[in-house]
Amino acid sequence: MASTNVRDLGDAQLVEFLAEERDRLFKLRFQLATGQLENSARIAQTKRDIARALTELRDREIQAAEATQGGES
């Protein structure tokens, strides 16, 4: 999933997407350990998708914190 698609998700959808990707990574690692994984590049792509989601969540957290601090001044 491209980063533009991650930005378009709502907060709840983003958390759900993150949970799904973490579950997918777990399953891919399990397949790798059992020798059933055919395309190991999917692990790297899934890790990137997780990183994109975490980055977007952190960005939103920072923006929310800045908005509350800006309102207090």
Domain formed by 3-72, architecture: Orthogonal Bundle (1.10)
- Rounded Cα distance, 55 and 9, in Å: 13
pLDDT at 49: 96
CA 25 to the chain's CA centroid = 11
44-69 per-position pLDDT tens digit: 999 999 999 999 999 999 999 999 99
Q: Residue type for 18, please?
A: L
Domain boundaries, the chain: 3-72
pTM of the model: 0.86
Contacts of 29 (CB under 8 A, 6+ apart): 43
5-32 per-position pLDDT tens digit: 899 999 999 999 999 999 999 999 999 9
